[in-house]
Structure 1
Amino acid sequence: MRNALFGLLLALQFLTRVPIPITVPWIPDTRRWAVRAYPLVGLLIGTVLAVVALGMHNVPAPITALTLLSIWVAISGGLHLDGVMDIADALGSNQPLARRWEIMKDPQIGSFGMLALVFLLAWKGVLLWALLAYHAPWWWLLAVPALGRWAGVALLVLTPCAQQKGLAWSWQQSLSGQDVALALVPVLLIALLAPAIVLMVLTVTVFVLLIRWIMLRLFNGINGDMVGATIEGGELWLLILLWSWWQFDTVLPLGI
């Protein structure tokens, strides 16, 4: 139980900007529990977003959407956005594999990284606006951050690292497929209230398998940047899915 609590604190320290002035032991057990707690941290982030959205229910949807997006980025400290920009710069360079890895390690942000950041945030903001305008049920704000982080867990556990060094590789040494399944438990509990989340889990699984194939093909493996980018990409994937559901529901009631 002690290691589980340390794991949750480690996940909060790693995934958010919430100040937690506690030194967590960096041991296999705490790393395993931290990864299992990734979606739980997502649920906590989603809870904050849902409370803010409810409190702003009389505010115009564009302002609420921008507020939610700003809080979303602020809580995570933009950690995962850095991975998106690094990968965009590497792929946009159209260079050989060795050079792409060098570009990813470069702390400077290139034009492709900036473009990826702008379009990612723009799409997330517009989709948030659309979902608020459709008066979508409250549970989607909980499910998206949680399942986005589960996508990162699945990629980390199920995809070999390109190099036997770095943070992602050190995490990977403590993990197994069991941790992917256990990480999903908090999300499935929410699914008891909103069964449509089960379909979201399936679509995120497809997304992870697609990203896994792309990363193995283009980089021969993954690193921490790719895990972060998968979290951001998984959230965008889910927002598009939810928008499509309620977009079609306005024309043909689907009962979602």
Structure 2
Amino acid sequence: MKSALYGLVLAFQFLTRLPLPLECPWNAATRRWALRAYPLVGLGIGALLALAAWGLGQLALPTPLVALALLSLWVALSGGLHLDGVMDLADALGSNQPLERRLEIMKDPQVGSFGLLALVFLLAWKGALLWAFVEYHVPLVWLFALPAIARCMGGAFLVLGPCLRPAGMAYSARRSVGNRDVALSLVPVLAAALFTPALALWLLVAALFTALYRVAVLRAFKGINGDMVGALIEGGELWLLLTMWSFWWFATA
């Protein structure tokens, strides 16, 4: 039980900027529980987003301001952690260099033009889709579950992909987790799907995106690292926003 609580705290400390000043051990047991808790972190983020969307909606504010406020909250909660992975991956892929050079570019703390372009377009699309969510009254329960599903994607990708190098947090986590941990991480979302069956569809959409992303990344880099996991979470959130809004728009047209 203690390992489970430590794992939950570690997951929140790693994936969010919520203040949890508790020192937790980093060992095989807590790493497993941390991955299992990734979707719980997502549900926490989703709950705050859905609550903010509802509250701002009661104020009758202009839709663009509501969308920008939600996007700002979303970035603030994660501290931009995964956005860094998006920029690093974009710089590496955009360089058109041999594999070793691409890996060096990904490790470089400086951000290049491709990274900046990826960041701008990602945030622009997220903001526009949040605007569409609010404007078309997409069910808030979908927004509530979306970050959790994206973090299920990140956990599954970490387990299914071979690590690039025997070093780093992704490698240490990968050594301790397996398919059972991924299956357990799905439990909160599957439980929510009992009350909102559409969530099962979004899980399938997320699984397809993860599989395609894995093929593309392994073809380009022959392995995975933490930046790629973060980029998947951000890309998965954008993909889910797009598919959820598209489904709702066609269903209500």
- Decide: shared fold, TM above 0.5: yes
Provide the rounded CA distance (Å) in 1 between the counterparts of 2:175 and 2:36: 15
3-state secondary structure, aligned to 1:164:
coil
Q: Show structure 2 runs of 5+ residues with no match.
A: none
Matched, 1:76 2:78: yes
Bigger drift between 218-227 and 137-146 goes to: 137-146
Provide the rounded CA distance (Å) in 1 between the counterparts of 2:77 and 2:23: 20
Q: Which of residues 157, 169, 172 in structure 1 aligns to 2:171?
A: 169
Q: CA deviation at 1:250?
A: 2.7
Provide the rounded CA distance (Å) in 2 between the counterparts of 1:27 and 1:167: 11
2:151 is aligned to 149
3-state secondary structure, aligned to 1:56:
helix
Q: How many residues get paired?
A: 251
Provide the rounded CA distance (Å) in 1 between the counterparts of 2:224 and 2:232: 11
Q: How does 1:101-180 map to 2 (within 5 A)?
A: 101-180=103-182
Report the residue type matching 2:162 in the other structure. Answer: P
Provide the rounded CA distance (Å) in 2 between the counterparts of 1:52 and 1:139: 13
Report the residue type matching 1:206 in the other structure. Answer: L
Provide the rounded CA distance (Å) in 2 between the counterparts of 1:148 and 1:59: 28
2:248 is aligned to 246
Matched, 1:184 2:186: yes
Q: CA deviation at 1:149?
A: 0.7
Once superposed, what is the RMSD of the aligned Cα atoms?
0.7
Provide the rounded CA distance (Å) in 1 between the counterparts of 2:30 and 2:238: 29
**2:46 and 2:146 in contact (8 A); partners too:** yes
Q: CA deviation at 1:164?
A: 1.3
Deviation track 1:13-34 (CA, whole Å, cap 9, x = no partner) reads 0000111111101111111000
Q: CA deviation at 1:177?
A: 0.3
Q: Which of residues 215, 218, 222 in structure 1 aligns to 2:217?
A: 215
Q: What is the TM-score when the length of structure 1 is the normalising length?
A: 0.97
Report the residue type matching 1:225 in the other structure. Answer: D
Report the residue type matching 1:151 in the other structure. Answer: M
Provide the rounded CA distance (Å) in 1 between the counterparts of 2:51 and 2:204: 27
1:12 is aligned to 12
Q: Which of residues 86, 89, 92 in structure 2 aligns to 1:90?
A: 92
**2:138 and 2:245 in contact (8 A); partners too:** no
Report the residue type matching 2:16 in the other structure. Answer: T
Provide the rounded CA distance (Å) in 1 between the counterparts of 2:30 and 2:168: 18
Report the residue type matching 2:22 in the other structure. Answer: I
Provide the rounded CA distance (Å) in 2 between the counterparts of 1:150 and 1:2: 23
Structure holding more helix per residue: 2
Report the residue type matching 1:164 in the other structure. Answer: P
3-state secondary structure, aligned to 1:62:
helix
Bigger drift between 222-231 and 57-66 goes to: 57-66
1:38 is aligned to 38
2:195 is aligned to 193
Q: CA deviation at 1:74?
A: 0.3
Provide the rounded CA distance (Å) in 2 between the counterparts of 1:154 and 1:62: 34
Matched, 1:2 2:26: no
3-state secondary structure, aligned to 1:221:
coil
Provide the rounded CA distance (Å) in 2 between the counterparts of 1:138 and 1:98: 44
Deviation track 1:76-100 (CA, whole Å, cap 9, x = no partner) reads 0000000000000001100000000
Provide the rounded CA distance (Å) in 2 between the counterparts of 1:137 and 1:228: 26
1:254 is aligned to none
**2:163 and 2:171 in contact (8 A); partners too:** yes
Give the % identical residues: 63
Provide the rounded CA distance (Å) in 1 between the counterparts of 2:107 and 2:124: 26
Provide the rounded CA distance (Å) in 2 between the counterparts of 1:158 and 1:229: 16
Provide the rounded CA distance (Å) in 2 between the counterparts of 1:31 and 1:225: 18
3-state secondary structure, aligned to 2:125:
helix
Q: What is the TM-score when the length of structure 2 is the normalising length?
A: 0.98
